[in-house]
Amino acid sequence: MAPMTEAGREMQELVERLYPLCRSITGDGVRATLKIVDEYVPLQMHEVPTGTQVLDWTVPQEWNIRDAYIADSSGNRVVDFAASSLHVLGYSVPVSATMPLAELRAHLHTLPDHPTWVPYRTSYYKPEWGFCLAQETLDALPDGDYEVRVDSTLADGHLTYGEHVVPGQVPEEVIVSCHVCHPSLANDNLAGIAVATFLARELAERTPYYTYRFIYAPGTIGAITWLARNAERVERVKHGLVLACAGDSGSLTYKQSRRGDAEIDRVLRHVLTASERPHQINEFTPYGYDERQYCSPGFDLGVGSLSRTPYAAYPEYHTSADNPDFVSPEAMADTLAVCREAFAVLDRNRRYLNLSPYGEPQLGRRGLYDALGGRSDTKQAQMAMLWVLNLSDGEHSLLDVAERSGLPFDTVAVAADALHGAGLLKA
């Protein structure tokens, strides 16, 4: 795993800053989240009205909440939204009532197997109300009447998402997508937001080959809304990556696109293998995060998903145990490093044509061997030149060369630059 870095520390600070906010698929919590991200990278905000048809879905009513609690007969709040946004069932409709514990139990959600943890639960498209609490808290409640209050609104409004674009040398795009709809959950989804944001900052310091579009949107409905509103732009999307669960201590996991052989799939497989990091590569399934929207058959984009421990594969998933202590600066820095390495390969991966394909061209008289003098990997660099020349037939990319030769991609790319500069290759 990558060592502690300044970026890692700053990403941890961003996670801790965003953690208290009550996010959902709509509402002021999403706007407050995006406003903070906008301090790091400028975002273009989009507001899509309730009732807007987006593919087979409709933008729902906007949900906002100000307060919620369960109070005992003495007025003590035994469950309090102010203590954690997880305490309220997401999208709870307003309620103000007094009822016995026996009646209240039908609206309470706990995790009996983890009695000190609070679960994360939602009811987006079915009018409902409820509270989430630790099993030990519920077990300690005596019978009697309890005051129940959810001070929320569910009304026509907007779905909000943000975009940040890093202009490239070409208009073809790489999309980087993360979901912004979960409340106080650090790994799922704040670590992904943090890694995406710092990746955007790094890319902005140079002019990449591709144009990079960062999408901060609510899960499922947000990605569907983006696709519906960007039908004309979708054909420009050449590669994509969904970031989620990016900060836990587990090894890296890459979930391939629906295609399985998209360039982003090959690049991540190559980068993870070459780095010798512990990792796993998973086949595509139509369940998970927003890669399933980008990879739906009508779009079939080359979009994979990068995480550490996959969703639902760690006990803390969707519970109060997924707090800022569960993620680390080192893990987020490691995820960021892999993204950096992968996009460096994407940006430099070209197909070339050997302009002297009949026999091996004389490299010495062109000064190419001299240019390698003093390198610790001189022999490897010479082999890279020979491999690039041999496979530069207009059909093979530099990634093909690296995979077939077993040489590091960077060594292959440097060799191609030297050969191109000597007039032996054309892109």
Domain check: are 243 and 147 in the same one? no
Residue whose C-alpha is closest to residue 367's, from 355, 354, 380, 385: 385
Domain check: are 307 and 178 in the same one? yes
Query: What is the C-alpha to C-alpha distance for residues 151 and 326, in angstroms, rounded to an integer?
Result: 30
Share of the chain above pLDDT 90, in %: 93
Report the pLDDT value the prediction gives residue 1, as an integer from 0 to 100: 60
Report the pLDDT value the prediction gives residue 67, as an integer from 0 to 100: 98
Domain check: are 40 and 149 in the same one? no
Query: What is the C-alpha to C-alpha distance for residues 399 and 27, in angstroms, rounded to an integer?
Result: 44
Report the pLDDT value the prediction gives residue 364, as an integer from 0 to 100: 83
Report the pLDDT value the prediction gives residue 2, as an integer from 0 to 100: 61
- Across all residues in the chain, what is the average pLDDT? 95
Report the pLDDT value the prediction gives residue 371, as an integer from 0 to 100: 58
Rounded mean pLDDT of 352-367? Answer: 91
Q: What is the pLDDT of residues 216-263, one digit of tens each?
A: 999 999 999 999 999 999 999 999 999 999 999 999 999 999 999 999
Q: What is the pLDDT of residues 78-121, one digit of tens each?
A: 999 999 999 999 999 999 999 999 999 999 999 999 999 999 99
Domain check: are 55 and 103 in the same one? no
One-letter amino acid identity for 62?
E
- Could you say which DSSP state residue 223 is in? H
Report the pLDDT value the prediction gives residue 316, as an integer from 0 to 100: 98
CB count in 10 Å sphere of residue 265: 22
Domain end call among 140, 155, 170: 155
CB–CB of 59/48 below 8 Å?
yes
Q: Is residue 359 part of a domain?
A: yes
Report the pLDDT value the prediction gives residue 372, as an integer from 0 to 100: 56
Q: What is the CATH number for 79? A: 3.50.30.90
Rounded mean pLDDT of 36-58? Answer: 98
Domain check: are 229 and 357 in the same one? no
Domain end call among 155, 188, 212: 155
Rounded mean pLDDT of 62-90? Answer: 97
Q: Return the SS3 of 2.
A: coil
Rounded mean pLDDT of 34-54? Answer: 98
Report the pLDDT value the prediction gives residue 57, as an integer from 0 to 100: 98
Q: What is the pLDDT of residues 335-351, one digit of tens each?
A: 999 999 999 999 999 99
Domain end call among 102, 120, 155: 155
Domain check: are 187 and 249 in the same one? yes
Query: From residue 107, how far is each of 95, 99, 102, 110, 130 by CA, in Å?
Result: 12, 11, 10, 10, 5
CB count in 10 Å sphere of residue 275: 14
Q: Is residue 387 part of a domain?
A: yes
Q: What is the CATH number for 359? A: 1.10.10.10
Q: Is residue 356 part of a domain?
A: yes
Q: Is residue 29 part of a domain?
A: yes
Q: What is the pLDDT of residues 296-314, one digit of tens each?
A: 999 999 999 999 999 999 9
**How many structural domains comprise the chain?**
3
Q: Is residue 266 part of a domain?
A: yes
Q: What is the CATH number for 249? A: 3.40.630.10
Q: Is the model's pLDDT at 3 over the cut of 80?
A: no
Domain check: are 66 and 56 in the same one? no
Rounded mean pLDDT of 4-29? Answer: 95
Report the pLDDT value the prediction gives residue 379, as an integer from 0 to 100: 83
Helix pair angle (398-405, 378-391), 10° resolution: 120
Q: Is residue 1 part of a domain?
A: no
Domain check: are 221 and 162 in the same one? yes
Query: From residue 258, how far is each of 48, 128, 292, 304 by CA, in Å?
Result: 28, 35, 8, 8
Q: What is the pLDDT of residues 156-186, one digit of tens each?
A: 999 999 999 999 999 999 999 999 999 999 9
Q: Is the model's pLDDT at 46 over the cut of 90?
A: yes
Query: What is the C-alpha to C-alpha distance for residues 218 and 284, in angstroms, rounded to an integer?
Result: 21
Residue whose C-alpha is closest to residue 216's, from 31, 22, 347, 28: 31
Q: Is residue 259 part of a domain?
A: yes
Q: What is the pLDDT of residues 135-156, one digit of tens each?
A: 999 999 999 999 999 999 999 9
Domain check: are 71 and 39 in the same one? no
Domain check: are 132 and 215 in the same one? no
Q: Is residue 82 part of a domain?
A: yes
Q: Residue 401 belongs to what domain range?
A: 351-426
Domain check: are 220 and 89 in the same one? no
Angle at 216 (CA atoms; ends 214, 220), nearest 5 degrees: 120
Q: What is the pLDDT of residues 362-420, one digit of tens each?
A: 888 888 876 555 556 778 888 999 999 999 999 999 999 999 999 999 999 999 999 99
Q: Is the model's pLDDT at 45 over the cut of 80?
A: yes
Domain check: are 85 and 148 in the same one? yes
